[in-house]
Amino acid sequence: MFEMLIPKLRVNTVFDINLEELYKQGYRGIITDLDNTLVGAKAPLATPELVDWFKKVKEIGFQLIIVSNNQLERVSKFATPLDIQFVHKARKPSNTPFRKAMSMMELAPEKTVVVGDQMLTDVYGGNRLGLYTVLVMPIAIHDEGWFTRMVNRRVERIALTRLRKKGLWMEEEPKL
């Protein structure tokens, strides 16, 4: 079970993802989480650096969709000014929001990348559908909601401990 929580790639931030290499490998769409993946959970808008990253993503040829468990108001205020499609109240790790995003992009799982900061929602949900999963370090853990902090992050710590004992998570990661 815990093996389904292992991402294909781990990076510190979205800026560390080698977009050109993913494109060369045949990926054409990116499904990304919003809170603590792109910006802190309480940051209302994209940073200038992130706006530049979105431009680069599109220039390379990727389609991009934000899939967030957050409410319409939060996701819309962030995504609409950037002309980025989104799925809100996604209920990740359910298959439905990932399938909806792939349908919106008209892409198959083998052409789709998922980027997120949580093993239990983004990585697990993407892995179940055979997507290429990228785990980023959370931007602002102190801004996370109660459930994420008290449940998801605790389960992640347990999973990391077990994965390390099995030799499936090699290097020591910062505490989640």
CA 133 to chain centre: 8
Q: What is the pLDDT of residue 156?
A: 72
Q: Distance (Å, rounded) from C-alpha 19 to C-alpha 53?
A: 10
7 preceded by a cis bond (ω within 30 of 0) = no
Q: How many CB atoms lie within 10 A of CB 8?
A: 14
**Which one-letter DSSP state was computed for residue 175?**
P
In sequence order, the 6+-apart residues with CB closer than 8 A to the CB of 161 are none
Q: What is the pLDDT of residue 141?
A: 63
Reported pTM: 0.85
14 DSSP β-pair partners:
none
CA distances from residue 25 to 59, 113, 116, 133 in whole angstroms, order as listed = 16, 11, 20, 14
Structure tokens at 79: 């995504």
Measured in degrees and rounded to the nearest 5, phi and psi for residue 116 equal -165, 170
- Architecture of the domain made up of 2-166: 3-Layer(aba) Sandwich (3.40)
Question: Could you state, in order of their start, the residue ranges of all structural domains in the chain?
Answer: 2-166
Per run of 10 residues, the mean pLDDT along the chain (length 176 residues) is 85 97 98 96 94 98 97 96 97 96 98 94 96 91 61 69 73 49
In sequence order, the 6+-apart residues with CB closer than 8 A to the CB of 81 are 45
Q: What is the pLDDT of residue 120?
A: 87
Q: What is the pLDDT of residue 149?
A: 59
